[in-house]
């Protein structure tokens, strides 16, 4: 198996360019091998969520902050809607 094939296979199996570099492959070899085959940002994000789901879960504290912000936003939007109805 050639170096190009090894790099492509590892990349397709889910390793990032950074992890390939950490495994000892030269950056130039990685870039040459993966020219035109790289992931889109969207695909990279989906893969990251799939491989590390625990990193993307909100803590209870964060959930509470989001709940308060959402309630505040909805209250403001509701008030704007009521004001618009009074104007008409």
* pLDDT tens figures, 5-44: 999 999 999 998 999 999 999 999 999 999 988 899 999 9
* Pair (88, 70) in one structural domain: yes
Query: Do 13 and 39 touch, CB atoms closer than 8 A?
Result: no
The Cα 17–Cα 10 span in angstroms is 10
CA dist 70 to 16, 60, 64, 66, Å? Answer: 35, 15, 10, 6
Q: Are residues 45 and 85 in the same domain?
A: no
Are residues 41 and 78 part of one domain?
Answer: no
pLDDT at 46: 92
DSSP code of 1?
A: -
Asked whether residue 39 falls in the same domain as residue 49, the answer is: yes
Domains held by the chain: number: 2
**Same-domain status, 48 and 64:** no
Range of the domain at 70: 58-88
Flag whether pLDDT at 64 surpasses 90.
yes
Check whether 85 has a pLDDT greater than 90: no
């Amino acid at each position: 198996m050639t170096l190009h094939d090894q790099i492509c296979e590892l990349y397709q199996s889910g390793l990032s360019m950074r992890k390939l570099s950490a495994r000892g492959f030269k950056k130039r070899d990685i870039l040459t091998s993966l020219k035109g085959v790289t992931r889109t940002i969207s695909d990279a994000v989906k893969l990251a969520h799939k491989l590390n789901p625990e990193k993307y879960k909100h803590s209870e504290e964060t959930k509470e902050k989001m709940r308060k912000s959402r309630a505040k936003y909805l209250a403001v939007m509701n008030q704007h809607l009521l004001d618009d109805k009074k104007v008409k």
